[in-house]
């Protein structure tokens, strides 16, 4: 049996990749930080889009 199909490779947490370990843990600090920043980021992106649309409208 190869290492990729070996059942213990799926169970052993030391052999899992870091991305899978983060994705399996919803309480990870990356996700809590993203949840804290997301509303401000979305607001800033919406404002930047509005400004860009306004400049495009004015320049026509």
- The string of pLDDT tens digits covering residues 1-52 is 555 555 555 555 555 555 555 555 666 777 778 888 889 999 999 999 999 9
Overall domain count for the chain: 1
CA–CA separation, 33 vs 60, rounded Å?
41
Which domain, by its residues, includes 35? 7-59
pLDDT at 60 over 60: yes
Tell me, what's the pLDDT at 58?
95
User: Does some domain include residue 21?
Assistant: yes
CB 24 within 8 A of CB 18: no
User: Does some domain include residue 1?
Assistant: no
CA dihedral 28, 30, 34, 37 (to 10 degrees): 110
Burial of 51 (0-12, 13-18, 19+ CB in 10 A): exposed
Tell me, what's the pLDDT at 41?
94
Rounded to the nearest 5 degrees, what angle is found at the Cα of 28, between the Cα atoms of 10 and 18? 40
User: Does some domain include residue 11?
Assistant: yes
């Amino acid at each position: 049996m190869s290492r990729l199909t070996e059942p213990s490779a799926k169970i052993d947490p030391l052999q899992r990749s870091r991305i899978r370990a983060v994705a399996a843990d919803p309480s990870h600090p990356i996700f809590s930080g993203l949840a804290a920043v997301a509303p401000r980021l979305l607001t800033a992106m919406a404002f930047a889009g509005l400004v860009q649309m306004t400049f495009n409208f004015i320049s026509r």
